[in-house]
Structure 1
Amino acid sequence: MTHLISTGMSRRQAIQLGLGAGLTVALTACGEDGTPTSASGTSLGGASLTGLMRASFIPAIHELQQKQAATWAEAHDGTVELTFAKEWREQIAAVVESRAGEDLGELFANQAHIYADRLVDVTELCESIGDRNGGWYDVAKEACVVDGRWRAIPRAYTAHVMNWRTDLFGQVGFTRFPSTWTELVEAATRLRDAKLPRVALTMSQAGPNDSASVAYSLLWSYGATEVEADGKTVAINSSQTREAVKLMQELAAVSAPEISSYDEGGNNTSFLAGKIAVTQNATSIWYTAQKQAPDIAKNMSHARYPRGPVGHQQLVEMNSLAIFAHSKRVEPAKAFYRYLMESEQLTALAEAALTYYTPLLKGYDDLRSMPWNSEPKLDGLRGLAAGGHMPGWPGPASRQSAQAYNNQTVVNMFARVISGKASAEESIRTAEDELKKVYEG
């Protein structure tokens, strides 16, 4: 996921991990008379609760979470320190490995499976939240339930979509976004031939999250998978994979050449500068465009990823909340998360985030205040998680599928081919070898 702003690590974590200090959000409060105001077991008693969170480039998201944490801290006699970092995943890995540092962490994708034995069991809390809000989407359970126990709370997912220029596509005869991948190749060809800004879907190791969103989604929509449903048998070397790679080759041939070198911010910058006609991303490009490039914002919209031979399939970019097992403040941490997942707080986050934080609770789909119900440019994003999958699908989310994602095996399979570093057959065989080391080794 692209980040245009970020904050660094807390001073405490910088000292513990030997990394440079950055900006920490410290939120301090207590009861009016200086005594605990919370229920038994959840008062901080003047202590600090610390968390390492995902950075967003929508400032309102940080500001809102700061206010929410301050409100909770005021009732629980302590401080809450939330650090928002662009490299939050790497920093969380360091905290987990050292078994020291923050009490809380915002996990990504399948990380609950990687770190399961070092996370607090939050089953009771998750089941209670689900019961009150219409139940969880299946993909939320896939991401956070390990061996029958919830190891993280599925906070939300980032709805990846096609951010596209309606005016440019209109000039080449498309009044709606292409509904299939082959139709997208046709549109990309027309844009190139008309010498207009081109299609530019990131497929680069330097832009791992944006690239993975397209790579997995395209692969699945052609009926290809990295592993069988048993979660053990590697299946990437197939005719379906060859068809998906061929489609990507055809699309890349008529796309902007930068697609094989974009980092997580490069496609955003190009889109906002009017240099490209479409790219995959969260709706955060639109948020930024309204402030920095209003003419672009006026002439853009959002669409689900195209369909393949087996329909529309999509990787879900998950954000979940976990408590590290080394924390000395487990009960206050659970109370804080319970508060964040209450309707008032979660609704406010979803409204501010414009689908960057989309709840994984079914009860939110029909709320009139949700972005997909209140903004016509987002109306196609309702219930996007219903057809979504975690890395490793159709196998179960697992430590192995998380490792394959972190290795960028599927992304690199496509990237090697479109950059000319390997033929399709060579790249597929390389991916197969890498996956066998993870799943079968």
Structure 2
Amino acid sequence: MAHLSRTGMSRRHALGLGLGAGLTVALAACGEDGTSTTGGGTSLGGASLTGLMRASFIPAIHELQQKQAAAWAQTHDGTVELTFAKEWREQIAAVVESRSGEDLGELFANQAHIYADRLVDLTDLCESIGERDGGWYDVAREACVVDGRWRAIPRAYTAHVLNWRTDLFAQVGVTEFPTTWTGLVEVATRLRDAKLPRVALTMSQAGPNDSASVAYSLLWSYGAAEVDKDGKTVAINSAETRAAIKLMQDLAAVSAPEISSYDEGGNNTSFLAGKIAVTQNATSIWYTAQKQAPDIAKNMSHARYPQGPAGHQQLVEMNSLAIFSHSKRIEPAKDLFGYLMDKGQLGKLAEIALTYYTPLLKGYDDLATMPWNSEAKLKGLKGLAAGGHMPGWPGPASRQSAQAYNNQTIVNMFARVISGKAGVDESIRVAEDELKKVYGG
């Protein structure tokens, strides 16, 4: 851990240091002359407020959050230490289990339901933020409200999209991204037949988040579900599930063979190297392309996931902020969250994140400075969360649906079939058995 001295280094110089993923930096709460400042009832009294945060592929996201935390700490007589790590979920699980360690953390998906009894009630803060900024999207409440109480703040979601090469599509006579899954299979077939870089949507256990984004979205768009609306009755064994798997089989047959082995970064690397024409990812891949592969960047765009017989349905990749109940600095942590969720802070984060951090508050939708309003390639991503769902839909978000997500049951159901490890019926049966154990059916 690197710690910035409260008296031996100016804040300006400290913030000029490299603040990248996996690096923990204590942000000194002092003025340029090294004198301490205080913030009244939420003063840290010279202590540190610590947090585990999600690492992204956009370094500017980390740098801005560090600077924002430093600005808050400067008036609260202490320091804020934020650790950005790829393994943040595993680290948070360890903190929750031991009831010791960091004060706060960035949760993923519906983890608030898993850890609810060890998270601080943030209901008053969340309701006031919603009233101020146009109201929360429904999916935000689904993710963070447990038994009527907000156990986390739905800070933002990562807009998962299909990143595609406009120049390669043009070579097979396609100028717009297909709006249906069957249309995507048709384009993928054209690319394969033309011996051009192929479609490559990750579907493997090694790439759980990218894979889940497609697996759940495809399943739902065909009218299938892991559980009924009651949140108890396992419903995966259905004709709709078989239709969704058949679509994935058809797509896989004309896709790059690596789709069943990609990890979370493998598809990014292949896309940036020009080896594939389409892959699912956050728009952070475009951010990287502009710096590392400018020829790719100028010939790529972003599209929503296609529709199926049940319309456009999409998994929302949630990022929420929570305070662990073992923290000795709950009030300062709440105050920090209030500051970070202020439009002056959250708005700046959304601007630089290129939809990697998209607010779940409706008041941001029409702001001219938001990426979907200021960048033509991102125009179609406005309000993506409006039709989005949490794992377990159409049942309610729950501890059980979160566990099924963590088990990768839906991902593995698709992956077993396209990798040839199991037939359709067997793979559905395995998924059904796993889900019944989770949901108690």
TM-score by length of 2: 0.94
* Deviation (angstroms), 1:36: 4.8
* Whole-angstrom distance in 1 between the partners of 2:53 and 2:59: 14
* Deviation (angstroms), 1:34: 4.6
Specify the alignment match of 1:258 in structure 2. Answer: 258
Cα-to-partner distance string for 1:202-237 (whole Å, 9 max, x where unaligned): 000000000000000000000000000000000000
**SS of match in other structure, 1:50:** strand
* Deviation (angstroms), 1:261: 0.1
Specify the alignment match of 2:24 in structure 1. Answer: 24
**SS of match in other structure, 1:205:** coil
Contact 1:103 1:326 in 2 (8 A): yes
1:39 aligns to 2:40 (yes or no): yes
* Deviation (angstroms), 1:37: 2.6
Specify the alignment match of 1:176 in structure 2. Answer: 176
* Deviation (angstroms), 1:35: 5.4
What is the aligned residue count?
Answer: 422
**SS of match in other structure, 2:215:** helix
Specify the alignment match of 1:87 in structure 2. Answer: 87
* Whole-angstrom distance in 2 between the partners of 1:393 and 1:183: 25
Counterpart code for 2:374: S
Contact 1:30 1:76 in 2 (8 A): no
Cα-to-partner distance string for 1:295-328 (whole Å, 9 max, x where unaligned): 0001000000000001000000000000000000
Cα-to-partner distance string for 1:383-409 (whole Å, 9 max, x where unaligned): 000000000000000000000000000
Specify the alignment match of 2:318 in structure 1. Answer: 318
Contact 2:61 2:349 in 1 (8 A): yes
Specify the alignment match of 2:243 in structure 1. Answer: 243
Alignment gaps of 5+ in structure 2: 4-21
**SS of match in other structure, 2:40:** coil
Contact 1:9 1:84 in 2 (8 A): no
Counterpart code for 1:65: Q
* Whole-angstrom distance in 1 between the partners of 2:417 and 2:55: 32
Specify the alignment match of 1:363 in structure 2. Answer: 363
Specify the alignment match of 2:278 in structure 1. Answer: 278
* Whole-angstrom distance in 1 between the partners of 2:428 and 2:246: 12
* Deviation (angstroms), 1:76: 0.3
Counterpart code for 1:63: E
Counterpart code for 2:103: D
* Whole-angstrom distance in 1 between the partners of 2:387 and 2:316: 9
TM-score by length of 1: 0.94
Specify the alignment match of 2:9 in structure 1. Answer: none
Specify the alignment match of 2:149 in structure 1. Answer: 149
Counterpart code for 1:166: T
Contact 2:29 2:37 in 1 (8 A): no
Alignment gaps of 5+ in structure 1: 1-7, 11-21
* Whole-angstrom distance in 1 between the partners of 2:94 and 2:440: 27
* Whole-angstrom distance in 1 between the partners of 2:23 and 2:426: 45
Cα-to-partner distance string for 1:64-100 (whole Å, 9 max, x where unaligned): 0110011000000000000000000000000000000
Cα-to-partner distance string for 1:159-189 (whole Å, 9 max, x where unaligned): 0000000010111111100110001000000
1:410 aligns to 2:401 (yes or no): no
Counterpart code for 1:240: E
Counterpart code for 2:130: G
* Deviation (angstroms), 1:33: 8.5
1:140 aligns to 2:140 (yes or no): yes
Cα-to-partner distance string for 1:257-295 (whole Å, 9 max, x where unaligned): 000000000000000000000000000110000000000
Specify the alignment match of 1:19 in structure 2. Answer: none
Specify the alignment match of 2:307 in structure 1. Answer: 307
* Whole-angstrom distance in 2 between the partners of 1:353 and 1:190: 33
RMSD: 1.3
* Whole-angstrom distance in 2 between the partners of 1:109 and 1:345: 22
* Whole-angstrom distance in 1 between the partners of 2:40 and 2:385: 35
* Whole-angstrom distance in 1 between the partners of 2:193 and 2:346: 46
Contact 1:225 1:235 in 2 (8 A): yes
* Whole-angstrom distance in 2 between the partners of 1:267 and 1:25: 31
* Whole-angstrom distance in 2 between the partners of 1:34 and 1:281: 45
**SS of match in other structure, 2:274:** coil
Counterpart code for 1:38: G
Counterpart code for 1:39: G
Kindly report which structure 2 residues correspond to 1:135-214, keeping only aligned pairs within 5 A, or say none. Answer: 135-214=135-214
* Deviation (angstroms), 1:24: 1.1
Specify the alignment match of 2:422 in structure 1. Answer: 422
Specify the alignment match of 2:229 in structure 1. Answer: 229
**SS of match in other structure, 1:331:** helix
Specify the alignment match of 1:352 in structure 2. Answer: 352
**SS of match in other structure, 1:196:** coil
